[in-house]
């Protein structure tokens, strides 16, 4: 009789894990690309123009590698006219050209040079390119994948990126200022009840500290029920839901109390029993 246990069923990979794994793989590849290509600059360039048409098209993304040997006539090369002094950023800081070699030679100092020409140009380039200025030779061409980079480098792209960054920055500032204003408004509610004698000065100070530092407070270390429920209400998005204050009778001691209501979250603050509870937790009498 076969008593071998049946193998357990593998849990299917979640979509989130698949995307996370893909993102990590892309990031690792992006970081490792210069080592794989054996280049001293980032091995990626974008075709800008139609000088190499129909071999290469405007907007094509070219991934290049270091030449594996002497560059011969007919080879397409990726090059700059002058090095920036920071090799790692030459493909970003300098104007990168992608043309075909139509002639070779040697400078008086012994440095090889190349005559180049765009396949779609009538005349050769009016300059020669020394071998140290060659970044590499194309290895992979991804059609039209470089258009976002071309747009980012254009004046329109720079304006758009600047506008988007500014919008994000100022939106973040506005949200932070709005959050601070809501904190002040809530503290003002507690201050009014304290000045009116509804809650003690000590209770007001505890509530004020809860409002100011609710994001940093560890819930498991809080013992005061009022503070615990206040922090829970705040972390539940109380200040971001157009909250309002309403008078209410405490269901435990029948004394006058008040509630802070934000959507489906309600915080009851009772001056007498010093206990606040969000709706949906604790005593069911607070859920009404």
Q: What is the pLDDT along the chain (288 residues), one digit of tens a residue?
A: 444 545 545 555 567 778 787 778 777 777 888 898 898 888 989 999 999 999 999 999 999 999 988 899 999 999 998 877 777 677 677 789 999 999 999 999 999 999 999 999 999 999 999 999 999 999 999 999 988 888 877 777 777 777 787 777 766 666 677 778 888 989 998 899 889 888 888 888 888 888 888 888 787 777 777 788 888 888 888 887 788 888 888 888 888 888 888 888 888 888 776 544 444 333 333 333
Q: Percent helix, strand and coil across the chain, each rounded to 5?
A: 40, 20, 40
Q: Look up the pTM and report it.
A: 0.54
Terminal Cα-to-Cα distance of the chain (whole angstroms):
63
| CA gap 51, 49 in Å, rounded | 6
CA-to-CA separations, 269 to 142, 192, 193, 227, 286, in angstroms, rounded: 63, 13, 10, 10, 11
Please enumerate in sequence order all residues whose Cβ is within 8 A of that of 225, keeping only pairs 6 or more positions apart, or say none. Answer: 274, 275, 276, 277
| CA gap 235, 237 in Å, rounded | 5
What pLDDT, on the 0 to 100 scale, is given for residue 73?
94
User: What is the torsion angle, in degrees rounded to the nearest 10, for the CA atoms of residue 114, residue 115, residue 121 and residue 127?
Assistant: 100
Is residue 96 within 8 A of residue 107, CB to CB? The reply is: no
* CATH topology assigned to domain 15-153: Umud Fragment, subunit A (2.10.109)
Per-domain boundaries in the chain: 15-153, 181-287
| CA gap 138, 37 in Å, rounded | 10
């Amino acid at each position: 009789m076969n008593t071998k246990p049946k193998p357990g069923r593998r849990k299917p990979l979640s979509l989130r894990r698949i995307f996370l794994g893909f993102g990590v793989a892309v990031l690792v590849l992006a970081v490792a690309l210069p080592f794989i290509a054996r280049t001293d600059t980032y091995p990626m360039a974008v075709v800008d123009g139609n000088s190499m048409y129909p071999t290469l098209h405007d907007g094509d993304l070219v991934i290049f590698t270091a030449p594996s040997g002497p560059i011969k006539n007919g080879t397409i090369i990726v090059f700059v006219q002058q090095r920036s002094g920071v090799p790692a950023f030459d493909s970003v800081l300098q104007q990168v050209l992608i043309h075909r070699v139509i002639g070779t030679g040697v400078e008086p100092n012994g440095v090889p040079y190349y005559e180049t020409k765009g396949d779609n140009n009538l005349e050769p380039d009016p300059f020669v390119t020394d071998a140290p200025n060659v970044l590499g030779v194309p290895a992979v061409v991804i059609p039209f994948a470089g258009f976002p980079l071309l747009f980012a480098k254009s004046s329109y792209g720079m304006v758009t990126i600047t506008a988007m960054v500014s919008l994000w920055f100022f939106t973040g500032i506005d949200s932070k200022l709005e959050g601070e204003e809501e904190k002040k408004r809530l503290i003002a509610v507690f201050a009014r009840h304290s000045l009116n004698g509804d809650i003690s000065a000590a209770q007001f100070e505890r509530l004020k500290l809860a409002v100011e530092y609710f994001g940093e407070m560890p819930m498991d270390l809080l013992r005061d029920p009022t503070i615990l429920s206040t922090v829970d209400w705040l972390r539940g998005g109380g200040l971001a839901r157009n909250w309002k204050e309403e008078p209410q009778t405490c269901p435990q001691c029948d004394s006058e109390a008040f509630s802070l209501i934000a959507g489906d979250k309600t915080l009851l603050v009772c001056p007498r029993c010093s206990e606040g509870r969000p709706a949906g937790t604790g005593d069911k009498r607070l859920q009404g």
